[in-house]
Every structure is written in structure tokens, then in C-alpha cells.
Structure 1
């Protein structure tokens, strides 16, 4: 599967999700991911890097196996896994790899991951990658870390608060909390605003950010 077809698959499915449906049915993911996130402090007290690990559901993982198993042995060999990782890395660049950071309300630009690693274990595709801030970013003020799909097509789930963590001495003086918004309550309170038009941008909407689980760190 090429990066173009990967993007086309996401776009087409997203249109099926958001096109012509009542608001209550719009936020309906088709890919499910068990996610882990770690923000790492650098030795100089700034934000060093972000580490993501995603385990995809078996249905999506099996479709990847069908697309990339070129030798037909029902396994993904190292070269095939490299092809998967390269395709996803290229495809998700336009979505900033589902990773958003703000410090005191200001968005922090992240460099693209140098490489994305892929494995296939127990019927699930697992991707891991690291991103670094494009510029030196001191650990100061309120930092909000969010990992979510703005198109609402992929659901990234953090099973426990421990799946969103910080590490490194620079974070020792900081407080942290995991925030899990109540999506049903948000929908009920904003029903008039959340129309089909609100969701018509395939690149995503503010709604996905509002309902996403996030890690808040104050230093």
C-alpha cells in the first residue's frame, strides 16, 4: 500500500463517518489504538523528546498484513515492516503524527520523527517513534500534551493514567495530571454548535481536541 492509498483510505473512511449523519454519530472511529506516551526532559532542563508507542487493533492490523505481505507467508518480514513504517510516517506528517503540545497556550512545533519502528506481535501492528521540539523548549509554565487524531477516524486510547508519563530530572519540580474529558457531556452541552458543517474539514476540528485525553504538566 502506497502512502497515497493510505491517505486515500483514511480520507474516504472519514467522509463515510462525517458525511450526512446526525451529529451524535459523527465522532465514530474505525481504527483503535492502545497508546503510550512519554515526555522526556533533556539534561539542560528543556523538553528533550516525546516518545509514542501505538498498538493497533487486530482488524486494522490484519488489513496491513494483507497489503504488505509481499511474499505471501502470512507474516511481516523486517523489510515489509520497514515499508509499513515508512508509509505511515509519510502519511501522518500532515496530521503532525497526532501529537500536539502547547506551553502557556502557545503551540510548540515538533520536528518529524527521524524514523518510525514497526513490529507485528500477537496479531497487532505496533508502531513506535520519537519526536523532538523544533526549537529549545524550556520546561516552564503550563504544558499540555495531547495525542489524538483530529479527523476522528482513529481512536487513541490510554488505558491508564500511567500510560501518559514524564521522565527526566527536569520534570521533578513539576506537577502533573491526566485529564479525561466527558465526551457525552460535551456533546450534550454543545449540541447546537456541533453540526455536520462543523465536522466537514477532513483535517479535523476543535471537537477532537476538546474530547481528547491529555497530560497537563505545570513547572
Structure 2
């Protein structure tokens, strides 16, 4: 995602966010009730998808149907720039602890309804599933994520709690007063706009 944000970095002076992404998550949980891996699927909005394809010189006929070669070239495009301190806009927290999530490996790429759908998998240092809160957000709110689904083993569930965007906006104003572009770049208030999901697992028999 960082690579995509950098590609759009010249955009400035307008209201945040600049990109909209639907996030679908699939978590792997071991027999001891610990999260061991997460697969993330990002579906980019149609305008961002168009800009990404144009920037990479793909889909020159503009029909949003990519050849196998073009899809192979696109695969992993959003993982190309991934500094060690970049958390991938996915956060798993349990009480005061935060899960350590490894680097991504691309697992899928497609273009559906003129939108890029890209997936990657990340190993997780074993982390307790029960009670873990899942959030996906860009700290600078350059990208607005909507958490669409969280898939878990049958014994676990994680209902999504959509963020109240208006309330988030009020909190930002309370923190900084007048809101402008620098608010998001400096204050990093993206977490206020995050959907949440809390994991609950049935006791194993």
C-alpha cells in the first residue's frame, strides 16, 4: 500500500482521503487458539485502479480486462516498497500487546468490475486470538479503508463494528481545531476512522 500512496503523493491541498480500499481479512488460528498468519485482500476504488494501471502502462485499451502477462506484471505491485517499520495498515491488539506481523508475500491479483483486487499473506508471531481487536487503517488517512469481512476458523468470529465517520471528524476537530491537509500528515489521526472487529472463540471441547 505504501508504494501506491507514494505514486499518488503529488496530490495535495484537497480533503482526505485520496484513495478508498475495501479490506477483506482471513486469519489462521492454530490448535492453541493463537493467530499464526493473516491473508489480506485489498480492493481498490475504480479511479485509483485506473490511475495505477495507467501509471504502470497496463490495459492500454482501457477495457479493464488484463491479459495473463499484464496480471503477472501487476501481481505484488502494492508490496514493492515495504520498509521494515511499515506495519502494512493492519493492526492486531490484545490488551496492551500488539502482534508482530511479518513481511508480505503476494497471493493473488485480479481486476473485477474495473477494480484491482490484490491479496497477500503475512506470517504472525503466535498471538492469542481470543479478545484480539483487529483494525485496518492508514495512520495519515491518505487511504480510507472499509473492513468488509474477517474470516476465521469455525469456532471463532469477529463481528465488524463500523466507524462513526462523523464522530471521528468531531474528535479530530477537538484535537487540532481547524482541519487541513497538514492535520493528517503530522497528527496521524487515521486510527480514529478505523472499523474494528473483536475476536471471540468458543471453548474447544
Instruction: Tell me if both proteins adopt one fold, taking TM over 0.5 as the criterion.
Output: yes
For structure 2, list consecutive stretches of 5 or more residues without a partner in the other structure. Answer: none
2:115 is matched with: 124
| Structure 2: distance between partners of 1:48 and 1:79 | 33
User: For residues 84-126 of structure 1, what are the alpha-carbon distances to aligned partners after superposition, in whole Å with 9 as ceiling and x for unaligned?
Assistant: 3333102355642211111212121100112242211221111
Cα pair distance change 1:44/1:88, threshold 3 Å: same
2:77 is matched with: 87
For structure 1, list consecutive stretches of 5 or more residues without a partner in the other structure. Answer: 18-24
Deviation at 1:70, TM superposition (A): 5.1
| Structure 2: distance between partners of 1:145 and 1:168 | 15
Matches within 5 A, 1:131-170: 131-133=122-124, 135-140=125-130, 142-158=131-147, 163-168=148-153
| Structure 1: distance between partners of 2:78 and 2:139 | 16
Task: Give the number of equivalent residue pairs.
Answer: 194
Q: Please identify which structure carries the higher helix content.
A: 1
TM-score by length of 2: 0.77
Deviation at 1:71, TM superposition (A): 7.9
Report the RMSD for the aligned CA atoms in angstroms.
Answer: 2.9
1:20 is matched with: none
TM-score by length of 1: 0.73
2:101 is matched with: 110
| Structure 2: distance between partners of 1:175 and 1:121 | 27
| Structure 1: distance between partners of 2:115 and 2:183 | 33
2:9 is matched with: 11
| Structure 1: distance between partners of 2:106 and 2:71 | 12
Cα pair distance change 1:63/1:113, threshold 3 Å: same
1:58 is matched with: 46
| Structure 1: distance between partners of 2:24 and 2:52 | 21
Deviation at 1:35, TM superposition (A): 2.3
Q: Please identify which structure carries the higher strand content.
A: 2
